[in-house]
Amino acid sequence: METRTVGIGAGAKELATEDMVLNIGPQHPSTHGVLRLRLTLDGERISAAEPIVGYMHRGAEKLFEVRDFRQIIVLANRHDWLSAFANELGVVIAVERMLGMEVPERAVWARTLLAELNRVLNHLMFLGSYPLEVGAITPIFYSFREREELQRVMEEISGGRMHYMFNRVGGLKEDLPAGWLGRTRAAVASVRSRMSDIDDLIMGNEIFRARTRGVGVLTPEQIQQYGVSGPIARASGVDFDLRRDEPYLAYGDLDVRVVTRTEGDCLARFECLLDQVHASLDLADTCLTRLADLPPGPINQRLPKVLKVPQGHTYAWTENPLGINGYYLVSRGEKTPWRLKLRSASFNNIQVLSEMLPGTLVADMIAILGSMFFVVGDIDK
């Protein structure tokens, strides 16, 4: 805090204080990338906060407009680089809806399986990196051990570790490799059996609980005002999940367990992620069983050499790992979209920081920021 002396001489006791404006970022190591926070401090307490975005802006929405419906997928899976498969889904679902295309059953169940594996991969990343923000280094080694189990089977089926490019309009790129279902089932069982290691390591840690319990409380009213979604919203008691409430893919045939908490603090958000991993592993097991029982059949639809989408518009939204991800597609009957607007989860989730941070201590800012589980590319698009 800066102070300014008002009086002059030995008897001058009256002091006036000035607020300090502090920039966190855009290159600060604890912001998962180049986000900037402009904080106004009154001593050790934050009096105002403004998230300043745009440092990673790549103009993806304009690039969509000059690429055909096959090429868009390679751009769409990159804005949230921890949820690439889920990002692809929204695009292909929107295009298939416009075409009136029915996707083969094997593709529907395989997509659902891969979406849940991608969700687990995303959550494991934050389960490891968030304790790192508040001073615990060990959990990230455990979470990366589990991520590697699942990355191996994802890489085997798609050829990619982060940007899978496995979805296609009409289904998936190719059929599942021989023996892949068995290897995936073994990987899911292995991850489930060792999740208790992460649970015991973090949830039993008194320092971690002290840094997160009652810190950064987000109310359901704030969530509704800012359009916050995903695990962050559910940690505050907002019981909404598109997989259950507006099913797509095979979710209508699945018993989707929606994980919620009521506290709305940093600890509740972390607990939601941890429990969601178990719920997603259960869904993955169900999908594996169903795929094993399905008779042989196609995994995609044959497409014309030049794919043109009929004139019209549609909005396809999906429950991405970090929240609601939506694509508003407008077509004029050409091979490229006239407009493809992206509604990303992290953009809305991060805006609520301007409401959450005022009144909190600077020391709690990193704990709050890390618990918002955002990817900067998903903010800036």
Task: Please check the confidence at residue 4 and state whether its pLDDT lies above 80.
Answer: no
pLDDT in tens, 346-369: 999 999 999 999 999 998 999 999
The alpha carbon dihedral of 304, 306, 309, 311 has a sign of negative
For 20-40, b where at least 16 C-beta lie within 10 A, e where not — what string?
eeeebbbebeebbbbbbbebb
pLDDT in tens, 101-131: 999 999 999 999 999 999 999 999 999 999 9
- Report residue 89: phi and psi, to 5°: -55, -45
Per-residue model confidence (pLDDT) at position 17 = 56
Cis peptide bond N-terminal to 295, omega within 30: no
- Give the type of residue at 82: L
CA–CA separation, 373 vs 266, rounded Å?
10
More confident residue, 181 or 381: 181
Per-residue model confidence (pLDDT) at position 16 = 45
Per-residue model confidence (pLDDT) at position 11 = 44
Residue that is written with structure tokens 């020391």 in the block: 363
- Give the type of residue at 314: T
Per-residue model confidence (pLDDT) at position 8 = 38
Per-residue model confidence (pLDDT) at position 168 = 95
More confident residue, 18 or 197: 197
- In this prediction, residue 56 has a pLDDT band, given cuts at 50, 70 and 90, of confident
Among residues 199, 138, 133, the alpha carbon closest in space to that of 364 is found at: 133
- In this prediction, residue 33 has a pLDDT band, given cuts at 50, 70 and 90, of low
Between CA 340 and CA 348, with CA 344 as vertex, the angle to 5 degrees is 130
- In this prediction, residue 27 has a pLDDT band, given cuts at 50, 70 and 90, of low
Burial of 100: CB neighbours in 10 Å, binned 0-12, 13-18, 19+: exposed
Question: Mean pLDDT throughout 35-61?
Answer: 90
Per-residue model confidence (pLDDT) at position 12 = 41
Question: Mean pLDDT throughout 46-68?
Answer: 91
- In this prediction, residue 74 has a pLDDT band, given cuts at 50, 70 and 90, of very high
Reported as type and span, the H/E element at residue 148 is helix 138-158
CATH class of the domain whose range is 20-379: mainly alpha
In the chain, domain spans: 20-379
